[in-house]
Chains A and B, each alone.
Chain A
Amino acid sequence: MPDKPRLTREEIAARAAKELRDGAYVNLGWGIPNLIADYLPQGLTVFFHSENGILGMGRRAKPGEEDYDLVDAMKVPVTLMPGASFFHQADAHLMTRGGHLDVAVLGGFQVSEKGDLANWKVPGARGSGGIGGAMDIAAGAKVLIVCMEHTTKEGAPKIVKQCSYPLTALACVDIIVTDLAVIDIRPQGLVLRETTPGWTKNEIQELTGAPLS
């Protein structure tokens, strides 16, 4: 594997933030996606949705400002933007499933060339596992972006022909943003849209488990 600089988790989040359009309603998942709120381009306003019934969620609460009745999906105290609203969990997921969110950004263990996503359970992991809102969000967002490292810690591709991890949803991912590339998933397969500076298409193809065009 070429030993060249890759994007950090923060840089992946900043790159993914550029995919958001002004005025969009957006849900951010756990992990790298949760960092995106800190890297919005100047002048861009988006409305963050939280699965526990918040639209218009603002930045995280500062010390002394915390109210534990106002938390995000990761249990972190947050603030509100002007014009925010509350609703119950069924309506929160009506928004995710019903195609009302413009963009959802989730983390991923594996994405297949058809856009299948695996992001909730590692095979053989101890414990019960947990789905949370991922299956509803993946099934319903107008545009689903997955942010993840391009390869596992051992160097195996996370973008594959067929997911071997337990699936979250079939054919749901539209865009993959990794530390090496931005890839669009189209009917004809994976389309390499952008490479991290210093990396060639061939090098990225070697670390990808399905053909890139």
Chain B
Amino acid sequence: MKQKIFPNIDAAVADVPDGARIMFGGFGGAGFPNNLIQALARKGTKNITAISNNCGTRDGELGLMFKNGQISHVIASFPGPHANYFQERFAAKEVTLELVPQGILCERMRAAAAGLLGFYTTVGVGTEVAAGKEERIIDQQRCILETPIHADYAFIKAQEGDELGNLTYRLAARNFNPIMAMAAKTTIVEVEEIVPTGAIEPENVVTPAIFVHRIVQAKGIRYAG
């Protein structure tokens, strides 16, 4: 059986190529895969499309990769007031941005995870978000067509992972992580603790192992910024 546990953080991202589309979990400082992000910064992968709620906090979270010029396109809901490295690159037109309402960002990833080719929503009707999108009327409501967001990789953070890849999350550090885990072709998780298979009660598993491809233990950087 294929071993999902990687010996160290750099090995877990060693094959991520230039031009990769990568989802990054985390919200409000909680649940960011900071150790994986640092490893990708060391590796120097370039021309990344990043899919993430926000764009870092100064050097922290995705901030480092914007500082290094590794990201060329972002799909995000709220780049954030402290994403100074992103804002500098954006102002210099070195990074392009697609702004997506937060819940629609989730659902577009979930559509990708679920094998759906899109959905209609009232969110964004009559706003900048609707530009270029098909609009129709369903049940007497104006709505727009939203399409899936796919990714080559998801970098996520979990609390416990067993040897098969079943995951739990801590408090509100769950946020985008379970959705991204389901949506990407290859999901790489950094966990606080690797536990033996069977140690997580089946009814407490939040992300089932089928969605997880690489597991690495990382206690280094928990919070940033």
Contacts and interface: CB of A to CB of B under 8 A. Distances in A.
For the complex of A and B, the 5 pairs showing the least CB-CB separation, nearest first, are A93-B103, A136-B103, A130-B78, A90-B106, A135-B101
A110 B27 CA distance: 28
Interface string B181-196: 0000000000000000
Q: Quick one: which of A67, A69, A116, A127 has the most chain B CB within 10 A?
A: A69
A139 B123 contact: yes
Q: Quick one: which of B76, B102, B124, B222 has the most chain A CB within 10 A?
A: B102
Interface string A64-101: 00011111111100000000001111101110110000
> Chain A interface mostly helix, strand, loop or mixed?
loop
Given A69-B172, A70-B171, A96-B103, A88 B179 contact: yes
Nearest to A134: B101
Interface stretch (B13-21, B28-36, B147-155, B208-216): B28-36
A128 interface: yes
7 contacts: A75-B28, A75-B29, A86-B172, A90-B110, A135-B102, A136-B102, A140-B123
Interface of A: 50-54, 67-75, 86-90, 92-94, 96-97, 116, 126-136, 139-140, 166-170
Contact of B28 (A71, A88, A93, A129): A71
Contacts of B129: 131, 135
Given A73-B28, A170-B125, A128 B86 contact: yes
